[in-house]
Amino acid sequence: MTRQTAAKPVQTLTDVVIRFAGDSGDGMQLTGDRFTVETAAFGNSLSTLPDFPAEIRAPAGTLPGVSAFQLHFADHSVVTPGDSPTVLVAMNPAALKANIGDLPRGGIVIVDTDEFTKRNLAKVGYPVSPVEDGSLAEYQVHAVQISSMTIEAVSKIGLSRKDAERSKNMFALGLLSWLYHRPLEGTRQFLETKFAGKREILRANLVALEAGWSFGETTEGFAVHYEVKPAALPAGRYRTIRGNQALAYGLVAASERSGLPLFLGSYPITPASDILHELSALKNFGVRTFQAEDEIAGVAAALGASYGGSLGVTTTSGPGIALKAETIGLAVALELPLVVVDVQRGGPSTGLPTKTEQADLLQVMFGRNGEAPVPVIAARSASDCFDIALEAVRIATTYRTPVFLLSDGYLANGSEPWLIPSVESLPDLRVSFATQTNHSLDDAAGGSDFWPYLRDPQTLARPWAIPGTPGLEHRIGGIEKKDGSGVISYDPANHDHMVRTRAGKVAGIDVPPLEVDDPNGDADVLVLGWGSSFGPITGAVRNLRAEGVRVAQAHLRHLNPMPANTEEVLRAYRRVVLPEMNLGQLALLIRGLFLVDVIGVNQVRGLPFRVAELMTAVRSVIDGTEQRTVIGTAGRYGTFVTRGTNGLPSIEVGGDSDEPFASDLPAAGRPGGDGPPDDAGSPSTTGTSSPNGAHR
Amino acid sequence: MTEQVDPAPGVARPERRARPAAVSLAGAPALRLIPKTDVPQSAKDFKSDQEVRWCPGCGDYAILAAVQGFMPQLGLKRENIVFISGIGCAARFPYYMNTYGMHSIHGRAPAIATGLASTRPDLSVWVVTGDGDALSIGGNHLIHALRRNVNLKILLFNNRIYGLTKGQYSPTSEVGKLTKSTPFGSLDTPFNPVSVALGAEASFVARTIDSDRQHLTSVLQAAATHPGTSLVEIYQNCNIFNDNAFEPLKDSTSKDEATIRLEHGKPIRFGIGGHRGVIRDAAGHLKVVDVDQVGQDALLVHDAHDEDPSTAFALSRLSHPETLDNTPIGVFRDVRRPSYESAMSAQIDTAIARRGLGDLQGLLAGKDTWIVR
């Protein structure tokens, strides 16, 4: 703590969710970041969710220009950024309007009333200030003149009014830091580094930070302040880390542990670009980064680097994967290591570039011509992005294959505390290149030559013979080749053999078993997940157990191939629930591979699941009243109600059922799948005589 | 220009031999980082065991023979030479070279080769491509490789037709070309590959002809010893789908009149007995004239090393796209600027010199840490 503030009573809380919201030029992301670091340093467990607009600078004061940062911190282990804020900091009317709907009754609102001018209110359609008309009566509102107090505080520094006002985010940070007992020292040091050489700006920021703190301490507006005790975390040295940063560091670590120089071929794309930025700054680790002319060249150059014995990596998001598909197919045929990172975002097409989604799973599984199997793994948290990068490299180099590493916008930008690993504890990823001929010519002279597709009998990996190795000169290509010798072959039997061999190689990848979290072993419902929904699922499962609900959890990091015990795990439970931020992509795979009738919980709002929503969904599965999303059959698009009888689900479909057909098509005037089934328009109420009618 | 490059850790670096072969280009500065052979080589050493499968009479045979015959002059270890191709008839080339090779996908060879050359300055990397591969589907990669000046030797086999897909017009086909896909004649204005390359900031651009082995070899020599990207357009006859496309430049009765042989430092003079030449007229345009009319001294002297590419570009525009009259061959441009991979290596060296070799544990810890006990 920077100072004693014993003058006011302190109330102890276990859990706080703060959302900082302001104009995209107000510095909300920075404010959130600093509060995060202060909170981490204080010892709380935490999780964050930055939520910013795609526009770099939307018109000031408008709803599209609102940028927000949500932080959840607690005295116990935190797994999500929180369903809804308990505290909203709104720097202008647009920020208030865009976010107030998420704040539960009784929540704290801190607004910068200086920004609640007639003009700004009009921009977002407020006829009168909601701070004054009583419409915020159900919240604890703190109307603070943040802008004018900031300008007043820094007036002696001699900055222009505009420059002075820019420090208002530090005033807000100071005030919140006082309110929640956060230390300021780290932020002071941060500002000194950030504004080194800009003395006035530095002073203004420091003064505003202090002013915000002092305001909280002295004003009567804040009667109490709060404390959230440090969480009991495993011992060790920690830092906070974002997913993209963790992923970049994981790649550097994999380079060091494998002895392979890292080459990144990439094209800028949201939300993956930060990996390119991070790695571009790490040239003293021997990292080569190549900002290519397009997505295709990014992956092509990475593949060329792999061919030469580097660790070839390309990073992108869904649209980029679509462009890289052909080259990834070539990597499958060449059987060379390659890591392809897909930081998923809302699709299709440009979709929601700054929002999150998990809807690229089937694209990476199948989005290539021919039978082109590629291993797929997915990170489950921001810090897991580090470990999963090492795992991607293990698979790529051991099996000489391209590997898809899935992350998403939520993990990419979200941060959490990370127990810093020791380098020695990281997996040993050393590889060896081929240096000698491997095939006897059976001639009198006892000669030998090199067969580029003579496989390791264990892994089915082919030798990695890099240019520069004498005596192993060979040619490889995308045309089908004879197994072993690698010469071009159009032989039908050989092609069948090669297709099956490539499939078998990927299917045979050694992956750890699927772990099940079922503390008492008495659950009959399993919640299965993959990727970034790990946090919300874990939160939901925890809360349900606290209510006495028996529920198990399992999370897939390896999606292709899945762990050998996957089917066994799934079959051990009466019902399996699978939340995904898509319309049921893993569910389709699970059903196809294992004939297990998983129940999807599907949401594509560009935001992570809320814990409460997942709890509701799991409860409905337990009592047999869940909704199901069904796609792919003509006339059967929609959300269906399952009638559970003796634990066996039945799906009612079609217009002749007396069960309502809950179409969620826009044509029926309903938002996708959000409403309860029984108030949905059935075919009769929408005036259509057949289920197909709902499509029009 | 810093070319003091160490292959990154982990990449086996073959030992470097000091002695270049007796008849060799191995002493060229551009080949400095590539290990030299001390074993005499012949064309035979560069022939793979694969049966060559182009159509009988294809111009590709002559180019293959010329390249295999030229390779020993480089004096490089065979294992340090890589041929990378895309898709098309020409793209079969790597299979026939007894070096390292990759037959990749349509249009992407320059991008793949960029990744290889950027990480392995100890390799001599060659790209074999065609007019469709390089200028249609792969146009973007070609121009960006050229502007970056990656150390690649790009051989662009131009036959002005799609051969492998059996006879559609290509981006270099003349307007009005009658093909299966253009039964009423093609509408597109063709690319002039040399003009494209010069416009894309290429540091080395040349043109040669499949049937002129001596000229082809001389251009390969110049291309191979150029540090950075070399673009060599090779007029190549497709005797199946576009036969005699370059006949005016090959037929003994017309070729001397039609072909302008560019030689650095020499007045640009051509035609039987050298009766024609190129001058810059009062308006600044290049113009083909009778030497008798203007005198030898008025002729333009070819300067391949001119930093300004505008004269080279003007030369590339002299040829008639249909009759091929006044077609210059030889080296249009050969200027020095840092190659991409040497600049990339220099940045890494500088970063290491300034900040020390990366400390992974320090990177993982970062600056803001706390301890939980």
Concatenate the DSSP letters of all residues of A609-665 into one string.
Answer: PPHHHHHHHHHHHHTT--EEEE-SSTT--EEEEB--BTTB--B--STT-SS--B---
Q: Are B167 and B179 in contact (CB under 8 A)?
A: yes
Cα separation of A588 and A287, whole Å?
39
Neighboring chain B residues of A301 at a CB cutoff of 8 Å: 111-112, 114-115, 118
B265 shares contact with chain A (CB less than 8 Å): no
Task: Give, in degrees to the nearest 5, the angle at Cα A512 between A511 and A516.
Answer: 135
What's the Cα-to-Cα distance from A113 to each of A167, A446, A482, A667, B98, rounded to whole Å?
16, 89, 74, 42, 76
How much is the mean pLDDT over chain A? 90
B365 shares contact with chain A (CB less than 8 Å): yes
Res B367: pLDDT: 86
Cα separation of A206 and A208, whole Å?
5
Neighboring chain B residues of A435 at a CB cutoff of 8 Å: 12
pLDDT tens for B39-91 read: 999 999 999 999 999 999 999 999 999 999 999 999 999 999 999 999 999 99
Cβ separation of B351 and A284 shorter than 8 Å? yes
Cα separation of B91 and B267, whole Å?
37
**If you count them, how many residues does chain B have?**
373
Per-residue confidence band for A636, with pLDDT thresholds at 50, 70 and 90: low
- CB-CB: which of B14, B103, B117 is closest to A477? B103
Neighboring chain A residues of B113 at a CB cutoff of 8 Å: 304
What H or E segment, with its residue span, contains residue A207?
helix A199-218
Give the tokens for residue A484.
């072993």
For residue A388, give every residue at least 6 positions away whose Cβ sits within 8 Å of its Cβ, in sequence order, or none: A247, A250, A377, A378, A379, A405, A407, A557
Cα separation of A557 and A559, whole Å?
6
Q: How many CB atoms lie within 10 A of CB A87?
A: 21
What's the Cα-to-Cα distance from B261 to each of A627, B66, B192, B278, rounded to whole Å?
78, 19, 17, 11
Neighboring chain A residues of B77 at a CB cutoff of 8 Å: 468, 470
pLDDT tens for A549-561 read: 999 999 999 999 9
How close A405 comes to chain B (CA, Å)? 20
Neighboring chain A residues of B80 at a CB cutoff of 8 Å: 467-468
Query: In the predicted model, what is the mean pLDDT of residues A595-617?
Result: 95
- CB-CB: which of B79, B94, B360 is closest to A469? B79
Cβ separation of A282 and B363 shorter than 8 Å? yes
Give the tokens for residue B168.
């559609």
Strand A402-408 vs strand A376-378: parallel, antiparallel, or unpaired?
Answer: parallel
User: Between A146-153 and A168-179, two packed helices, what is the crossing angle to 10 degrees?
Assistant: 110
Sheet holding B370-372, edge to edge: A415-419, A236-242, B370-372
B39 shares contact with chain A (CB less than 8 Å): no
Query: In the predicted model, what is the mean pLDDT of residues B156-175?
Result: 97
SS3 assignment, position B144: helix
Res A689: pLDDT: 35
Evaluate if residue A483 carries a pLDDT over 80.
yes
For residue A63, give every residue at least 6 positions away whose Cβ sits within 8 Å of its Cβ, in sequence order, or none: A94, A97, A98, A124
Neighboring chain B residues of A402 at a CB cutoff of 8 Å: none
Evaluate if residue A8 carries a pLDDT over 90.
no
Cβ separation of A474 and B108 shorter than 8 Å? no
Quote the DSSP letter at residue A252: H
- CB-CB: which of A310, A467, A474 is closest to B80? A467
Cα separation of A617 and A580, whole Å?
12
Neighboring chain B residues of A332 at a CB cutoff of 8 Å: none
Quote the DSSP letter at residue B134: I
Evaluate if residue B278 carries a pLDDT over 60.
yes
What's the Cα-to-Cα distance from A581 to each of A532, A567, A591, rounded to whole Å?
9, 22, 18
What is the model's pTM? 0.90
- CB-CB: which of A37, A435, A488 is closest to B368? A37
Give the tokens for residue A300.
């092509």
Res B5: pLDDT: 44
- CB-CB: which of B14, B351, B372 is closest to A283? B351
Per-residue confidence band for B26, with pLDDT thresholds at 50, 70 and 90: confident
* CA-closest candidate to residue A145, choices A65, A209, A66, A212: A212
Give the tokens for residue B260.
């302008």
Window 7-26 of B, Cβ < 8 Å to A: 8-14
Q: How many CB atoms lie within 10 A of CB A225?
A: 17
Query: In the predicted model, what is the mean pLDDT of residues A350-369?
Result: 97
Nearest-Cα residue of chain A relative to residue B37: A470
Query: In the predicted model, what is the mean pLDDT of residues A476-499?
Result: 97
